[in-house]
């Protein structure tokens, strides 16, 4: 993953077909670099305004996002938008699996991070073509959704407290 090779504290992603303008990246980075920002802000997710896809594709995305949001309750209405900015540290705490970009808001929240959304513009596809139609995307997405839901329910939450020499008791005596 490119994130593993990244050297900066912040990482931004965008799609590869030209629909996400790189000029939107500063707006995504702004909440992560703002003075007084919450240190637990881990992800700023783009939300496409005035999508430039076909009506059928927009319907499929809305349907898939509604199902994903109902199952994962991440509060994000456009998790498929390729424009994202996040802290490298937060990303490296996420479980690694294919297609995680759709589930990053839920996975960030799973790790205790906050997620913000920023409206971004969308352009017609400049290059390439979609790898999936709505039916293909639905089938792949459902399998991924089941996996993401499984991961969310199996988060290990360990409780820890500091034990000093005074309250350690006999088990910690030399």
Domain ranges of the chain: 2-156
pLDDT tens digits, residue range 100-134?
A: 888 999 999 999 999 999 999 888 776 666 666 66
Query: In which order are the strands placed within the sheet that holds 114-120?
Result: 10-13, 84-87, 41-48, 114-120
Antiparallel, parallel or unpaired: β 41-48 and 84-87:
antiparallel
Query: What is the model's pLDDT at position 167?
Result: 61
pLDDT tens digits, residue range 13-56?
A: 998 777 888 999 999 999 999 999 999 999 999 998 887 777 88
Kindly tell me the burial class for residue 29, based on how many C-beta atoms sit within 10 Å of its own C-beta (0-12, 13-18, 19 or more): middle
Question: Which segment, 2-6, 47-51, 112-116, 170-174, is predicted with the most confidence on average?
Answer: 112-116
Dihedral sign for Cα 28, 34, 38, 39, please: positive
84: which strand partners?
13, 45
- Between CA 42 and CA 94 the distance in angstroms is 11
The residue among 54, 165, 59, 43 whose CA lies nearest residue 92 is 43
CATH fold label, 2-156: Spore Coat Polysaccharide Biosynthesis Protein SpsA; Chain A (3.90.550)
Predicted structure pTM score:
0.79
């Amino acid at each position: 993953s490119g994130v593993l090779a990244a050297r900066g504290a912040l990482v931004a992603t965008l799609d590869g077909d030209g629909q996400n303008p790189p000029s939107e990246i500063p707006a995504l980075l702004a909440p992560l670099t703002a003075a007084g920002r919450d240190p637990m802000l881990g992800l700023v997710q783009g939300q496409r305004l005035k999508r430039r896809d076909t009506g059928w594709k927009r319907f499929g995305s809305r349907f898939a996002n509604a199902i994903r949001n109902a199952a994962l309750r991440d509060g994000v209405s456009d998790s498929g938008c390729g424009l994202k900015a996040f802290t490298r540290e937060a990303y490296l705490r996420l479980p690694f699996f294919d297609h995680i970009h759709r589930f990053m808001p839920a996975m960030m929240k799973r790790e205790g991070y906050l997620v913000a959304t920023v409206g971004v513009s969308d352009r017609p596809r400049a290059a390439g073509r979609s790898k999936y139609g709505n039916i293909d995307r639905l089938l792949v997405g459902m399998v991924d959704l089941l996996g993401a839901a499984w991961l969310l329910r199996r988060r290990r939450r360990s409780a820890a407290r500091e034990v000093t020499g005074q309250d350690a008791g006999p088990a910690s005596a030399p």
